[in-house]
Amino acid sequence: MSDLHIDRLFPDPASDLPLDEAFADLDLPSSGAGRPYVAINMVTSVDGRAQVAGTAEGLGSRVDRRVMRLLRAGFDAVASGAGTLRATGFWPGVPPELAERRRAAGRSAQPLSLVIAGSTPVDLERWHGDEGGRMLFVGTANPQAPMAGVELLRAPTDDPEPHWLLAQVAERGIESVLLEGGPTVNAAFLAAGALDEIFWTVGARLVGSDALPMIAALPGGSPWADHPRRGSLVSVHRNDDELFLRYRFG
Ligand SMILES: NC(=O)c1ccc[n+]([C@@H]2O[C@H](COP(=O)([O-])OP(=O)(O)OC[C@H]3O[C@@H](n4cnc5c(N)ncnc54)[C@H](OP(=O)(O)O)[C@@H]3O)[C@@H](O)[C@H]2O)c1
């Protein structure tokens, strides 16, 4: 249990809530699309940048890092793109008290860990934690060798197509996937119409660079470029100068 607190601004405003309670029940609906429910969790600066000097370090606070773990506690699987794994490493685990929360909710103690690569092999040294199981998705031409403790799935396409990937994890009983970036893989899920929610931390920072945003430009152009897809606001929390926004795109 953390000693952190947070204000809820919407709905039902309330001050100084214990953070762990504020994010205890995510109340995820079904995707309604015959696939696992998919949410992105990302932190950006106020000007919308998701990278500082090549990583996300320095954008979010200690509260943001705790929120990240609280969100993981509410999902069956946590996923990362290979670019993020290469840039920062990937450990999608939760600490013991949140593992207990997962067990109490009928989940495995740790989320299933998913890495999504295209044509380049990934370095197992940068992928931490195997208690919840690991699945590596690669494109058809990726020369990735099998790795102990990792289920390797080779897509029939150059990059793993999100619906194909989600069908593979659904076969293993996964009903919800938390996508922790990066922006390129986020864009692939948006383009495929396989994105239901966004948990967005706005760090009180300005970057002013051309670093990647939360979702990279969609390859081949966006169908929403002229008619943006509309979402609905689920909740807003605030800690100090940092905002935690949750939008649903049903
Ligand atoms: N602010 C945040 O919350 C946050 C969160 C996560 C990451 N980040 C930052 O974002 C950066 C990494 O993001 P990124 O966009 O470069 O990498 P990424 O989205 O993590 O991964 C991109 C890679 O995924 C593979 N891939 C799988 N399916 C794909 C598809 N359908 N289309 C395209 N690529 C596909 C490709 O791997 P191959 O190279 O094998 O072809 C591609 O290079 C890092 O700086 C990281 O620190 C920030």
20-43 pLDDT, tens digit per residue, is: 999 999 999 999 999 999 999 999
Decide if 137 contacts 95 (C-beta within 8 A).
Answer: no
Q: Is the CB of 50 under 6 A from ligand 1?
A: yes
Which stretches of 106-218 are assigned E, i.e. beta strand?
A: 112-116, 134-138, 151-154, 176-179, 197-202
For the stretch 158-215, pLDDT in tens is 999 999 999 999 999 999 999 999 999 999 999 999 999 999 999 999 999 999 999 9
Give the CATH H-level superfamily of domain 33-40+63-213.
Dihydrofolate Reductase, subunit A (3.40.430.10)
Q: Ligand 1: which atom is nearest the Cα of residue 183?
A: 15
Decide if 115 contacts 137 (C-beta within 8 A).
Answer: yes
1: pLDDT strictly greater than 90: no
CA of 16 to the centre of ligand 1 (A): 35
The pTM of this model reads 0.98
